[in-house]
Structure 1
Amino acid sequence: MQWTDQAIILGVRRHGETSVVVEVMTRLRGRHLGLVRSGRSRAMQPVLQPGNEVEVTWRARLDEHLGEFRIEPVRLRAARLMEAATSVYGVQAMGALLRLLPERDPHPHLYESLDVILENLHDPRDAGELFVRFEIAVLNDLGFGLNLAECAATGTKDDLVYVSPKSGRAVSRDAGAPYADRMLALPAFLAAGGSEAASLETLAQAFRLTDYFLHRHVYEPRGMAPSSARDGFVQAALKALARA
């Protein structure tokens, strides 16, 4: 069996003396692993860095086998991704999010989002907003999507300022007022029709929002701890935005 696809490197682990097992997010085939022979060579090490875009050709005798990758570089951006804390932590945190999804399960929109975010991780404002939207997209693909388009109680699309911690649906100011102390804040830039950029306050609210639902629906039921890289990214993004 054989196929070729565009991919982004997520991680690498040693295999024997000279080979490595490479984890990639492919455009059409989801997260995939493959053996790269001589992957620890001087020629391959710069290519097999998280965040790099490559072309992979996978070969195996049977579909369920690990198989082997032949990898060709397309866009080597790992060196640039090492220049800012948001980039360093962001690459690791998004890789951890993608590992929550089943291996070889296609998610082409997540591949496209990952590619866009990797090009903008150096900008704390863009990086923070895009990362939050990526977390929301992953939650949706896991079956726990948030509905932030209209009020759960009235159906209105105006003045949405809360999110119900039970349903994950938006709630308007008037409808949520009696329960305000139990509601999560809905950042203005995530609300339906929101056009303003994230501020330090609303970005912090957004991080708390996605963190809550990831813990409730994913980490706690699976008995998992979240990636420490997410905390590093959140702190770096908020710190950089405060200085901007």
Structure 2
Amino acid sequence: MEWRDEGIILGLRKHGETSVIAEVMTRAHGRHLGIVRGGRSKRLQPVLQPGNSVDLVWRARLDEHLGQYQTELLTARAGRLMESAIGVHGVQAMAALLRLLPERDNHPRLHDAFAIILDSLVTPEEAGALYVRLELAVLEDLGFGLDLSQCAATGAETDLVYVSPKSGRAVSAEAGAPWADRLLALPAFLPDRTKACTDADMLAQAFRLTGYFLNRHVFEPRGVDPPISRESFCTAALRAMPQPRHDQPPVQEKM
């Protein structure tokens, strides 16, 4: 068995004296493991770093075997990612998120989104919002997608400001007003891609929204805690965002 693909390094673990088992998010073969002979050598260590894109050739006698990788570097990101908290925690949080997917399931759009977000970590004010969209995409691919396109009660496609915690569907301001304290806030940039995530409060709402459904549908049923790397990334991303501007009463001049 043999195939060739591109992928992004998620993590490594030691194998024998000189080799490693590389966990890679490949474009056409999903999250896939393979042995890299000599992976702990000075030549390959800089290549096999989380966040780097690599060209892969995988070989095994049978398809169900672990198999071996031959790798060549395509895009080096690891050094830059290590320069900031948002980079360090971002690659770890996304790796933990992608590990929720079944091994070897094909998810090309998640591979592509992963690469885009890794490249965006140099502009932290964009990274948090992109990461939230990745969480939404993972929920969808796991079968728990949210419907943020129209109001669950009226069918309206505008003024969507809530999400039902039961159905995962958007709710308009008017329809949701009587139950506002029971609904989750829906930041405007999620249902409307023409709008931007403008401040830390808006991003915090988005993190709470996706975090709620990840806990409900993924972490709690599997009996696991949310990864610490997600909390660390959320904290770093919120610190990088502009703080919201609250209207202040005019200062009266003393006579």
TM-score normalised over the length of structure 2: 0.93
Gaps of 5+ in 2: 245-255
Q: After superposition, what is the alpha-carbon deviation per residue over 1:50-90, rounded to whole angstroms, capped at 9, x for unaligned?
A: 00000010000000000000001111110001111111101
List aligned pairs for 1:105-120, cutoff 5 A.
Answer: 105-120=105-120
Provide the secondary structure at the position in 2 that maps to 1:213. helix
Q: After superposition, what is the alpha-carbon deviation per residue over 1:90-136, rounded to whole angstroms, capped at 9, x for unaligned?
A: 10111111111100000000011001001001222210010000000
Q: After superposition, what is the alpha-carbon deviation per residue over 1:175-200, rounded to whole angstroms, capped at 9, x for unaligned?
A: 00110000000001112355233321
Gaps of 5+ in 1: none
Aligned match of 1:79: 79
Aligned match of 1:22: 22
CA contact (8 A) 2:160 2:186 kept: yes
- Give, in whole Å, the separation in 2 of the partners of 1:243 and 1:205: 13
Q: After superposition, what is the alpha-carbon deviation per residue over 1:156-193, rounded to whole angstroms, capped at 9, x for unaligned?
A: 01110000000000000010011000000000111235
Provide the secondary structure at the position in 2 that maps to 1:180. helix
Aligned match of 1:53: 53
CA contact (8 A) 1:51 1:91 kept: yes
Aligned match of 1:103: 103
Aligned match of 1:35: 35
- Give, in whole Å, the separation in 2 of the partners of 1:98 and 1:198: 27
List aligned pairs for 1:201-220, cutoff 5 A.
Answer: 201-220=201-220
Provide the secondary structure at the position in 1 that maps to 2:236. helix
Q: 1:137 to 1:242 in 2, by over 3 A?
A: same
Aligned match of 2:225: 225
Give the CA RMSD over aligned residues: 1.2
AA in 2 matched with 1:160: L
AA in 1 matched with 2:9: I
CA contact (8 A) 2:20 2:40 kept: yes
- Give, in whole Å, the separation in 1 of the partners of 2:54 and 2:193: 36
- Give, in whole Å, the separation in 2 of the partners of 1:130 and 1:68: 33
Aligned match of 1:169: 169
- 1:131 paired with 2:131, answer yes
AA in 2 matched with 1:75: T
- Give, in whole Å, the separation in 2 of the partners of 1:78 and 1:192: 32
- Give, in whole Å, the separation in 2 of the partners of 1:94 and 1:69: 22
Aligned match of 2:151: 151
- 1:178 paired with 2:178, answer yes
AA in 1 matched with 2:16: G
AA in 1 matched with 2:182: R
Q: After superposition, what is the alpha-carbon deviation per residue over 1:22-54, rounded to whole angstroms, capped at 9, x for unaligned?
A: 000001110000000110000000000000000
**Runs of 4+ with deviation above 3 angstroms:** none
TM-score normalised over the length of structure 1: 0.98
CA contact (8 A) 1:9 1:53 kept: yes
Q: After superposition, what is the alpha-carbon deviation per residue over 1:205-237, rounded to whole angstroms, capped at 9, x for unaligned?
A: 000000000000000001011110000000001
AA in 2 matched with 1:159: D
Q: After superposition, what is the alpha-carbon deviation per residue over 1:135-154, rounded to whole angstroms, capped at 9, x for unaligned?
A: 00000000000111100000
